[in-house]
Structure formats: structure tokens, C-alpha cells
Amino acid sequence: MSGSGLVLVGARGTGKSTVGRLVADRLGHRFIDVDDEIEAAVGLSIPEIFSTLGESAFRDAEEDAIRALTELDESIVLATGGGAVVRPSNRERLKRFGLAVWLKAEPMVLGERLLFDASSGKLRPSLTGLGAIAEIEAVLEARREYYQDVAGLVVDTTGIKPVEVADAVLRAFEGAERWIAP
């Protein structure tokens, strides 16, 4: 729903899906994870899309999903994949959609969370071929300006529980809603 949506952006492992679910529950809005929509649309898991179709096919599917989801006539909370901000058209759509919250964390913390996710079955394809921490740092360096471009709020999640991050996001979103529709 244009202008009044809430979308979480940020690197892998920042807790976008966990926080997005908490925030959506508290608002009574539907939560949608863009990566889940891509997997359903393509009929393959994210690692399979990368390995069989390649990253650029994944980015096309991601752009299609973001276009469709940001045009829904319904209040939703969106969690995007870490690379959703790379294409300018996605950034424009996400900005028009509503409040974009950039979740950040220290690279070491992200590395630990990604290891934990991998051990519980959530696998992520390598984006650079570098080791874990070097990849996190390189990708963040390349994308920082894009996150800055879309974000209306930045929350550093280092050492903060998801429920506390959700509280900060809700406070900002409720303030923004009043500003848009007093």
C-alpha cells in the first residue's frame, strides 16, 4: 500500500524476518518475506536459483516480487533480502512504499548469526567467493550507500534482542503514520 507500508532492509543476519514478524503481529498486519515469495514464484530454493539460474535471474525474480508486493492494496510488513537495495528501481519502489528501516550489526555478530542459521538449515549462497567475515565486510561496503538512500530509520541490532528492535521500529513507524495521516 503506497506510502504507509513498513519494510525492513539490511545485510543478511540482521534479523529482518524475525523482527518483521514481531512488528507485523503487533500491528495486526500481514508479514511477507520477499525471499519466500521468490522461492514460491520460481519453484526453487534460493541456493538452487543461484546455482542453476545464476544471480542475475535471482535479481530479476526479486525485482518482480518487490514490484508486485509494493503494489498490494493491503497493509503489510515486508522483509527484503540483503541485496534488494542494489537495483535503483527497487530503491525507488521501497521508498514510495513507506518507512524503510535499515537493521545493522557488527560483521562479527552477523557472521555468528549466519553460522547459527546454517546449523539450523537456512543456507545462503556465497555472493563473492570470499570467507564469511570478508564477504560480510565487502558486501556491506558495496551496499552501504544504497541502504542509506532508502532508510528512514536505522537501528543497530548489535547486542539488542529482536523484541527490543521491534519496539524501536514500532515507535518510529507509529510516529511516521501519524505524520502521514494525522
Binder among 22, 23, 27, 35 for ligand S3P (CB under 6 A): 35
**Cβ closest to ligand S3P, residue 27 vs residue 110:** 110
> 39 vs 167, which CB is nearer to ligand S3P?
39
Q: Strand, helix or coil at 107? A: helix
124 is an interface residue for ligand S3P by CB under 6 A: yes
Question: Of all residues in this chain, which one has the CB nearest to ligand S3P in the complex?
Answer: 81
51 backbone dihedrals φ, ψ, rounded to 5°: -80, -30
Q: Does 125 bind ligand S3P (CB under 6 A)?
A: yes
Report if residue 21 touches ligand S3P, rule: CB under 6 A. no
Q: Write down the least CB distance from residue 127 to ligand S3P, Å.
A: 5
What 3-state DSSP class applies to 86?
A: coil
Residue 104's alpha-carbon distances to 43, 47, 74, in angstroms, are 30, 24, 27
Which CA distances in Å does 18 have to 44, 135, 166?
Answer: 22, 23, 9
Comparison of 127 and 170: residue with beta carbon closer to ligand S3P: 127
For residue 127, state whether it binds ligand S3P (rule: CB under 6 A): yes
Are the C-beta atoms of 69 and 78 separated by less than 8 Å? yes
Output the smallest distance, CB 171 to ligand S3P, in A. Answer: 24
Q: Which of residues 56-85 bind ligand S3P (CB under 6 A)?
A: 81-83
Nearer to ligand S3P, 115 or 180 (CB): 115
Q: Give dist(CA 12, CA 7) in Å, integer.
A: 15
- Least distance (Å) between residue 140 CB and ligand S3P: 10
46 sits near ligand S3P (criterion: CB under 6 A): yes
- Name the H helices within the chain: 16-27, 34-42, 46-48, 55-70, 88-97, 107-119, 132-150, 162-180
Q: Which residue type does 83 have?
A: G
Q: Give contact residues for ligand S3P (rule: CB under 6 A).
A: 12, 16, 35, 46, 81-83, 124-125, 127
